Structure 1
Amino acid sequence: MLSAADNDLLTRTGIDTPMGQFFRQFWQPIALSEELMQKDGSPLCVKIMGEEFIAFRNTQGELGLVDSKCPHRGANLFYGRNEECGIRCVFHGWKFDIDGMPMELPNVPTGAQYHETIRLRSFPVAEFGGIIWGYIGATKSEAKNLAPPPMLEMGLLPESHRYVTKKLQECNWAQSIEGALDTSHFSFLHMPAPTVPSNQNADAPADEKRLKWIREDTLPQFSIIEHEAGFVVGGSRMADEGKRYWRAAQFALPSHSTTPSTLPGETYFGYTWVPINDESCWIYTYAWNPERPLTEEEVSKFKGGHGVIAEVDEHYIPIRNRSNNYLIDREMQKHINYTGVRGVAEQDAMIQDSQGRIADRTTEHLCASDIAIVQFRRKVMEGARAVTQGVKPLSALKPSTYTLRSGSYIADEGVEFEQVMLARFGTRSGLVVAKK
């Protein structure tokens, strides 16, 4: 268990907190590309780690990320006009470009000092993998030699090979990512009801044989391999004919993860958590296949919710959520699935949200299967403490270390995790090595 002080260190990401300063050393997703497709389109409100910004795409198609408040009287620029390569406050017409430079100050006399001194804070922004990324650790003018956003594999592939979306999660970012790294829970949370003899689950990205092994072996054996961006955790269960079924999941700083079910040739899944505030977060979720384009049938399935991808409305709010008790059906719970809630992502959200808006880790009792959770907390808390001492995370400077894969493999009894990773991915860490 954690002390109350350490729980605060882990969960709080405001600008004046160690974890908040740590997160601000990294690029963060601020929107999906599809939310800002139109030139001179509607500005988008961006709230991240308790701070509010405005994102917009100007007349030339360039992206801007600026403070939400006009420096004149503090009016919100969300209500502004995105026109002729700038965002104009509708209060008194002050207008700024994507770099925060004043373009027009209509009620300020020509030659007045404001024309030279007034600036709207503007932040670095980039587009990669169907996601718009922002860096709020420094303004554009302050950011020097800034590395690109993390090179997630899905962003290196043609658009036809990936599907990217997001969903709202109504709890603290840390307990949600802990739920993803805790792969042992699949033996219960995502299984059929105990009375159902079949091991099929149409919502899970795994076949009946794999689900049978997960269901029958509730005590996987875990191993961890650290790498430059974070670590990969592998859990092995008993399989048929004396084999072991391995499931490996990635964690990359500060809040990226990939799922453990993918076999060679299948589609990979991953997600990135972005704190909105300390009690809610966005989860950017993505599926990608490096070997082929996704089919229309797959994309249709993702839009309706599949695996870690939730079914969401036009505002990316899950259809089954905290406000409606995830549409839990007690008859379904008795006779069909273990939870009475449809969807793997929704089942995860239900149990993570149920821990409270911010989980109280002072009362928990961890066990052997929680090794990835312990390692996750250690990595991010060490990083947060280091930033307060002026030590910046090296992984933020090495975007290529984020091109990671994870998934499943069947090996003989006694084969070590490192050999499993080498056999499955060609590298001990799961890092994808570019072909020459």
Structure 2
Amino acid sequence: MGEVLRRYWMPALLSEEMPEADCAPVRVRLLGEDLIAFRDTDGRIGVLDRFCPHRRVDLFFGRNEECGLRCVYHGWKFDVSGNVLDMPAEPANSPMRDEVKIKSYPAMEWGGLIWVYMGDPDHMPDRPPELEWGLVPSTHRNIQKRLQENNYAQGVEGGIDSSHVGILHSLLSPREPGRGFRERQQAIDPRLSFLAQDTAPKFFVRPSDYGMLIGARRKASEEEFYWRITQFLAPFYTMIAPRSPEGPIAGHAWVPIDDYNTWTFTMYWSPDRPLREFEGLDSAKVNVPVLDDGSFKPVHNRSNNYGIDRAMQRDKNSTGIIGIGLQDSAIQETMGPIVDRSREMLGSGDAAIVAWRKLMLALADELESTGKLHQPLQPEIYRVRSAGIVLPRGVDFADGARERMTVA
């Protein structure tokens, strides 16, 4: 599966982590590799092996200056392509300068993120997938990042699992005699009461050029269904249905650090207007607070039980944990870093999960048998949206929501 992932441009850093030329280098770990990223004097981005090939010194401590990153031990200096620019401890005529090259990966900045390509150079796409949050003005998007200590698959599967939304993320009405948990459940938004009223949606999964279109159908009235339509976009992107037609859209990138850890990028965006115009969508309110040590580890995490408040759990929400993102992290991490799926007992609400696993295995088979993957080379096919919509019974969800799911 690692070879599949390497055929795609992958989000690695927020642009703000390297805000200017010659700023401090940043440690990066992706697909089990320890790397160092830097923005050189001309603004170009380099992503190199984190350890100098001379004596394996950590280049995090290097000097970023004069269009290169210099190891502070013996002064070896590298450009963004991994070429040696200087070896001050070697004779001027040493052949090593031309012979030595540090491992490097192509990198680019797009849509508020730093992207890295770690695959076969002969199959490198011209640009990252054209997800809509990368196409809108910077004022129309908000991108956040946090560390999750679990395999990326657990994050993706949470992102396409619509059946948990009305349960895990539900609010509770005040306690009253004779009213149990299910009677007290309320949707996180009063406009989406269908999520709490119908907690067993019927799933419809359609294959697409970019991955999968997933429709979760709930009863809205005797004549209508509420469709929560989510997108899976290969290899690890998910999109969440907006709470209202005019509201912002949200999505995730679940980027593998290694087998046991994931960078979770969360994107909020509006195609039409700046996010500041939406009440409650300033970064302080939507963000999962993270530690300020550069780790992006949530302040509330496994070590402190995610800040669970049992009184809150009894009286206000189903988990006692504040925030949808942190509720998801708590569930996904405490499954264990990698889950033994042979011990699962899947039900009808897991149709999208089963389809996703088959899709990823099919991509691995496609790459092994043909040496190619079609999706990375067609970034334009990622121009889609998710949707939440009430439709008359008998109307196909993909047809009824087509206009809302199309990016101009």
The TM-score by the shorter chain falls in which range?
over 0.9
2:350 equivalent to 1:407: no
The question of whether the paired residues in 2 share the 8 Å contact of 1:166 and 1:282 is answered with yes
2:179 corresponds to: none
- For 1:161 and 1:34, the matched residues in 2 are separated by 16
> Given the alignment, which residue of 286, 290, 309 partners 1:312?
290
For 2:356 and 2:275, how far apart are their aligned partners in 1?
A: 32
Measure how far apart 1:38 and its partner are. Answer: 2.0
- Deviation, 1:431, is 4.3
Q: Which amino acid in structure 1 is aligned with residue 134 of structure 2?
A: G
How many angstroms apart in 2 are the aligned matches of 1:74 and 1:390? 37
Task: Tell me the residue number matched to 1:94.
Answer: 76
Provide the residue aligned with 1:82 in structure 2.
64
Query: Partners of 2:380 and 2:280 in 1: how far apart?
Result: 27
TM-score by length of 1: 0.87
Report the equivalent of 1:73: 55
Is 1:302 the counterpart of 2:280 in the alignment? no
1:175-229 CA-to-partner distances (Å, cap 9, x unmatched) read 111011111111210112375577666xx4xx3031x211111221111222111
Query: C-alpha separation between the residues in 2 aligned to 1:407 and 1:144?
Result: 33
The residue that corresponds to 1:25 in the other structure is 7
Cα distance, 1:107 vs. partner? 1.7
Select the residue among 318, 330, 337 that pairs with 1:350: 330
Q: Which residue of 1 aligns with 2:126?
A: 147
Q: Give yes or no for the alignment of 1:278 onto 2:256.
A: no
- How far the C-alpha of 1:344 sits from its partner, in A, is 0.8
2:140 aligned with 1:158, yes or no?
A: no
Return the alpha-carbon distance in structure 1 between the equivalents of residues 280 and 24 of structure 2. Answer: 27
Q: Spell out, residue by residue over 1:70-96, the C-alpha distance to the aligned partner (whole angstroms, 9 max, x if none).
A: 111111111110011100001100001
- 1:135 counterpart = 2:135: no
After superposition, give the CA deviation of every residue in 1:219-252 in whole Å (9 maximum; x if it has no partner).
2111122211101101111113532111000001
Q: 2:221 matched to 1:243?
A: no
Give 1:266's match in structure 2, choosing from 243, 247, 253.
Answer: 247
The answer as to whether partners of 1:199 and 1:209 remain within 8 angstroms in 2 is no
Structure 1 unmatched ranges of 5 or more: 1-18
Name the SS for the 1:59 alignment partner: coil
Task: String of CA shifts for 1:346-399, please: whole Å, max 9, x gaps.
Answer: 111111112111111001111111111011111111212332334321001011
Aligned equivalents of 1:240, 1:415: Cα separation in 2: 14
The secondary structure found in structure 1 opposite 2:203 is strand
1:372 and 2:352 aligned:
yes
> Is the 1:225–1:418 contact (alpha carbons within 8 Å) kept by the matching residues of 2?
no
Which residue of 1 is the match for residue 363 of structure 2?
A: 383
1:195 to 1:298, Cα distance in 2 relative to 1, 3 A? closer
Contact 1:402/1:431, CA 8 A, preserved across alignment: no
What is the match of residue 90 of structure 2? 108
**Which residue does the alignment assign to 1:59?**
41
**Structure 2, unpaired ranges of 5+:** 176-182
Q: 3-state DSSP class of the match of 2:4?
A: helix
Secondary structure of 2:336's partner? Answer: coil
Q: 1:264, 1:340 → 2: CA distance?
A: 29
Q: In angstroms, what is the RMSD of aligned CA positions?
A: 1.9
2:63–2:72 Cα contact (<8 Å) kept: yes
1:9 corresponding residue in structure 2: none
* Conserved? CA contact 2:173–2:184, under 8 Å: no
Any residues of structure 2 matched to 1:90-239 within 5 Å, and which?
90-138=72-120, 142-143=121-122, 146-193=125-172, 204=188, 207-210=189-192, 212-239=193-220
Return the match for 2:316 from 324, 336, 344. 336
Aligned residue type for 1:352: Q
> TM-score, structure 2 length as denominator?
0.93
Aligned to 1:394: 374
* Residue correspondences, number: 399
Matched letter for residue 384 of structure 1: A
AA at the equivalent of 2:53: P
Counterpart-to-counterpart distance in 2, 1:227 and 1:297: 31
The offset of 1:146, in angstroms, is: 3.0
CA distance in 2, matches of 1:137, 1:145: 7
Shift of 1:302: 3.2
CA gap 1:198/1:292 in 2 versus in 1, 3 angstroms = farther
Pick closer, same or farther for the CA change 1:30–1:312 going to 2, 3 Å. same
